[in-house]
Structures are given as structure tokens and as C-alpha cells.
Structure 1
Amino acid sequence: MADQWIAGVDLGGTTTKIAFITADGEIEHKWEIPTDNTDEGKNITQNIANALAEKLAQLGETNDRLAGIGMGAPGPMDYERGVILNAVNLGWKDNFPLQESLEAATSLPAAIENDANCAALGEMWKGAGNGAKDLVCVTLGTGVGGGVIANGNIVQGINGAAGEIGHITAVPSGGAPCNCGRKGCLETIASATGIVRLAMAELNKHETSGELSKLLSLNGKITAKEVFDTARNGDPLARNVLDEVSFHLGFVLGSIANTLNPEKIVLGGGVSKAGAILLDAVNESFAKFAFSAVRDSTQLALATLGNDAGVLGAAWLIKNKLNQK
């Protein structure tokens, strides 16, 4: 496998990221294709196979150059059978045989994993995890996802639903409704949509002429990025939102660290691009809730791989699988 590439695929509802990656984790080529979720997603794996074949032809290579293919996909999985239980935004329902379909389309050995878990594996291998074998990755995006790695292996749980950090209850009573049907989940606070919701609640509560209020009256809406930008500039309402987000996130991460004592907790996703202002505030809250031995040994860090985390984690997945044979 030394001279062969691995195909890493990060399947999203709108676009699919694909990369050819060396056994050492260097990205040689990467590109995107649209995700075609028509006809209950029946074209998805064939489109990926076609994209691989076209890129190999452009590079003057054949399928023999590829050792295997790894894929991260949204949704819960039955890993034993290589089946995705359902992924509504892809059109797949009721136990879609993803691994089998991928292997048939590409003529390559395949491995599949939940997309948030793939991002965690990517950060472990080549990113902020820096080789740490005990790692928790939290993706703060439109929602909140998570992946838990213990001793180098993804913790999948009995039903493939381990690592659903976004659905840990952060507000036990009176919390906002979550898309999962419950209330008060961390996702309702620490996601981009949750941050905007908190900011709007603050703006509705107070008469203010601050920077955040001006942005709302100017644009008719605000973004999570604007909340952090104005907090950085000292806007009092934006600071209130930052305090609330970091309190709940630090509380949940402290509880996770007390349970797992990972070497690192990596914060990724679009919200993490706020950088130091978020990390410093979360660290302060984390220190209050983490047990002393945990606080001294578990480090919080910002993800470094951005959009490459998923394809790298998918490549690590199949590399690991092939090495075990």
C-alpha cells in the first residue's frame, strides 16, 4: 500500500468532498462533486465511482493506484453490516447497504463511518489531536456533532449513536426546543443557530444602541460570527451571549472529560472559527466543572483541518481496516 493512494470521501447533503491521500496522510488531489439525492439517493455511490474514474484518467492512472475507499456519511449506522440506518437528506431510508453499494460501484474495499466520527479521526491523525489516542471532537456548526476516540478507536455504542454530544441536556428545565424533539439540548445553545437565537433573545430583552443592535437594524438579521465579532469589540449584549454559550459548553465538556479523561477535546465546525475569544471563555467554564486531575491533564484545542478533516478521517478508516487484515 506504500505507493498506493487511499480515496477519502466526505458525503454531505449538498456536496461530496473527495480526495486522493497517501498512506502518510498527505492530500495529493482533492475536489468536490454535487450530491445527487434524487431517486432515494440511488445515484450517489455510482456518481462517486464515476468521479474517481474520471480523476484517475485525467492523472494517467488506473484503479490499481487506489488501495481502498473510506467514507463519512451523515446518519446512524449498523457497522457490522455496513448499513446506514437512515439519512433522510440523502434520500436513503431503512437500512441502505452503503458499504456494499460503494464496493460494488468502485471495485474497491470500503469502510464507512458517521461523518462527525470521521472528522474526529482526521483531527486525531493529522490535526489538532496530533496523534492523541484518547480524543473527543466536538463540531459546532448548524448543529452540534461529536466523535469520541478511546485508545485510537471510535466509540460507536450499541446502536451506533455514541458521541451525540449535541443532544446532551444542557438546560434541564425551560430549555429551547431541539430538532431531535426534546428541549434544552446543547445544540440549542452552542450551534450557530442556537447562538443567533440567544442573541435575538438578548436584543429583544434590552433597549440598546450597541454594535450588535445596529447590525440587526441594518441587515434585518445577525449571524453567529457577528455575535463573536461584536463581543470581541466589547458589545455588552454579545458578551452576555458569549458568557452563556461558554458556560453551558464548558459545563458539558467538563462532564465529558470527567467521564473519559481524554488527552484532548478538539472544537471544530464553523463556530470554532471564532478562535481565542471562544476557547478562552470555554476554558474558564471548563476549569470550574472538571475534576482537578482531569483539568490538569485534558487540554481543549481548536480544530486545525477545516474542511479536510472528514476526507482525512475517512482515509484513516480504510487504511486502518486494510492494515488489520
Structure 2
Amino acid sequence: MTMSKPYVVGIDIGGTNTVFGIVDARGTIIASGSIKTNKFNEVEDYVNELHTELFRLLEQNNATDKIMGIGVGAPNGNYFNGTIEFAPNLPWRGVIPLAQMLTDRFGIPVSLTNDANAAAIGEMTYGAARGLKDFIMITLGTGVGSGIVVNGQLVYGHDGFAGELGHVIVRPNNGRLCGCGRTGCLEAYTSATGVARTAREFLEVRNDPSSLRQIPIQDITSKDVYDAAITGDKLALEIFDYTGKILGEAFANFIAFSSPKAIILFGGLAKAGDLILKPIKEAMDRNTLNIYKGKVKIMFSELKESDAAVLGASALGWEAK
């Protein structure tokens, strides 16, 4: 069979931004663009804007008739149905038949999966997980997502939704309210939003000096906490310790489930490097069952954050029907 069309499109839908790119068979992003996800209360308006911007990019790169398929990574994306279902961090409620909406607009086959699964596929195809058959991808962004690969296959479960490790309950009693409506989820503590919440809690109940006190408390972001921590701010460092400890404890449990060779961290919070890695490793090692001790590496994604999800999503484009 000849490769009639040389490119695919990868679309990564995040809570804040949607990034898209034209990708060739070697995994090179030829061109990319983005739109704001959270600007559109109606999904139809969002699809219109996405169509306009993406079509413009295709025209500029002389690729309008050269796209084999479109792959999409989205929060709560269901690979089996091509739908986004009840995504807490997106402005649209209910079940959104996004793959069909995009197919209708572009006339190109579209395949859709969960955003963390897309990142895992990207990592396996082009990044740190090349050659790994068993690993867990953890995305630390607006939310916490996961892609679980066992024996070289993504775990989808019977309904397409397997691998919501961000919604494992890590604080069962009086835990924080999560965007999913339950309390005590990992995401409520270890997402970028969770780190900002921890900062607000610490600042409210304690008196120790911190450069974070110069920022209006409701405006503090995880980036502010990082900026303070790298200057040696004690409170900010403690926030990272607290966050890393919760992640490490959770990882010890995840290891018992699928015995991965590696846990790969991806997303904004992974940029904190050793600030987050050290407490994760300590808590993970302390809580890991003996038979697994010393066997699981924690790694950072090798793909540029903006590229990984787009590349992963694009990999689905080759298979789209």
C-alpha cells in the first residue's frame, strides 16, 4: 500500500489551551498553532474557531489535501466512541461527540483518546518510553491524568475510560473537593491547581515569612510557588515536599497494580525537576512493597511539553478510520 497522504494532524485539548500540529511519518511537527479552549462556552463556537485556525495552517503549508487523519487527545476522551464525556476541566458539559463534529467539518477521519493516553502514545513512539512495554505516564497539568501501558498496549478497559489515576482517593477523610465532585482525589492535591491550593492553605494557617505573601492570595499559581522555591523560600519548598510526598505515596500503590518499569512525569509541574522528584522518590521508596523496591524508575518526559501530546494524538491520526 502506498502512503497516499504524507501527514496527520495532532490536536491536544487542554483546560486552558488547545494546541495542534501537522506531523509527518517520522514524528516531525511541520507547523503548529493554538487557540484558547476556555474562551468558548459553546462547543460549536470552539469547533468553528478550531476549523478556521487549523484550515489556515493547512493552507499555509500547502497540506489541505495531504492529511491522512486527525488524532485528538482530550480530557475524558473516549477512544471507543470518539466522545468527550463529563470533563470537569472543560467549559462544555455532558457528552460531546467531538470526533464526529470534526469529521463533519474537515471531511477527514478523526480518532480521539484521553489526553494522558495521547501523551503516553507520544512518549512510547518518540520519547522516553521507546522500547518500554510496561510504564505509567502521569500528566501533571490543570488536572492529573494517566496513561497506563501494560505489555506494550494502552489499557482502555471495557468502556474506554481505564486509567484515571488522578481520581484515586488519597485523602479519604475530609479531603479537598475535586473538580469531579468527589473529595480527596490525587488531582485535588498534585495538579498545578492543587499546588496553588496548598499554597493558599499554608499561607492562611501559618505566619512564617514567605515571598508568596506579596502576591494576592487568590492569584497565586503553581509557577509562583516554583519561582519562590528556586530562590530558597522555605514555605514554597515545603509546598513541593507536601505535594511530592502525596504523589510518591500514590505511586507506591500504582506500582502494586501494574509493576511498571518506569513512571514518566509529564506536564507543567514536571518542570520543577528535583524540587518535586526528591520528595516523590523518598515517599515512593518508603511505601513500596518489598518485591518492587528499586525496580521502578521515575523519569521526566523526553518530549517538549507542547510537542508530546500533539505527537501522541497525531499517532492516532495514522489509524483513524
Superposition TM-score tier, normalisation by shorter sequence: 0.7 to 0.9
1:4 positional shift: 0.3
Identity %: 36
Report the residue type matching 2:25 in the other structure.
A
Residue 285 and residue 2 in structure 1: after superposition, are their counterparts in 2 closer, same or farther (change >3 A)? farther
* Partner Cα distance (2:98, 2:197) in 1: 36
* Corresponding residue number in structure 2 for 1:91: 92
* Corresponding residue number in structure 2 for 1:215: 212
1:252 positional shift: 0.3
Alignment of 1:1-325 (within 5 A): 1=3, 4-35=6-37, 40-45=42-47, 47-63=49-65, 65-77=66-78, 79-87=79-87, 89-91=90-92, 93-94=94-95, 96-209=96-209, 212=210, 214-216=211-213, 218-221=214-217, 222-304=220-302, 305-319=304-318, 321=319
1:91 positional shift: 3.3
Q: Secondary structure at the match of 1:54?
A: helix
* Partner Cα distance (1:301, 1:310) in 2: 17
Report the residue type matching 2:216 in the other structure.
G
Q: Secondary structure at the match of 1:42?
A: helix
* Partner Cα distance (1:12, 1:315) in 2: 15
Structure 1: where are the runs of 5+ without partners?
Answer: none
1:200 positional shift: 3.1
Residue 134 and residue 207 in structure 1: after superposition, are their counterparts in 2 closer, same or farther (change >3 A)? same
Q: Is the 8 A contact 2:248 2:282 kept in 1?
A: yes
Cα deviation per residue 1:15-57 (whole Å; 9 max; x = unaligned)? 4311111112111111123459758422444544444443333
* Partner Cα distance (2:160, 2:10) in 1: 21
Q: Is the 8 A contact 2:115 2:145 kept in 1?
A: no
1:3 positional shift: 6.6
Report the residue type matching 1:85 in the other structure.
E
Q: Is the 8 A contact 1:120 1:147 kept in 2?
A: yes
Residue 53 and residue 261 in structure 1: after superposition, are their counterparts in 2 closer, same or farther (change >3 A)? same
Residue 280 and residue 99 in structure 1: after superposition, are their counterparts in 2 closer, same or farther (change >3 A)? same
* Partner Cα distance (1:301, 1:158) in 2: 29
Report the residue type matching 2:179 in the other structure.
N
Residue 169 and residue 32 in structure 1: after superposition, are their counterparts in 2 closer, same or farther (change >3 A)? same
1:251 positional shift: 0.6
TM-score by length of 1: 0.85
Q: Is the 8 A contact 1:267 1:301 kept in 2?
A: yes
Q: How many pairs were matched up?
A: 315
Q: Secondary structure at the match of 1:169?
A: coil
Cα deviation per residue 1:222-258 (whole Å; 9 max; x = unaligned)? 4323434444454443343233222211010111012
Residue 49 and residue 194 in structure 1: after superposition, are their counterparts in 2 closer, same or farther (change >3 A)? closer
Cα deviation per residue 1:57-91 (whole Å; 9 max; x = unaligned)? 3233441x2211111122242x3333333457353
Residue 207 and residue 161 in structure 1: after superposition, are their counterparts in 2 closer, same or farther (change >3 A)? same
TM-score by length of 2: 0.86
1:103 positional shift: 2.3
Q: Is the 8 A contact 2:122 2:315 kept in 1?
A: yes
Structure 2: where are the runs of 5+ without partners?
Answer: none
Q: Secondary structure at the match of 2:163?
A: coil
Q: Is the 8 A contact 2:229 2:236 kept in 1?
A: yes
1:215 positional shift: 3.0
* Partner Cα distance (1:57, 1:237) in 2: 50
* Partner Cα distance (1:152, 1:2) in 2: 28
Q: Is the 8 A contact 1:37 1:43 kept in 2?
A: no
Q: Is the 8 A contact 1:176 1:188 kept in 2?
A: yes
* Partner Cα distance (2:27, 2:248) in 1: 32
1:106 positional shift: 1.9
CA RMSD for the aligned pairs? 2.7
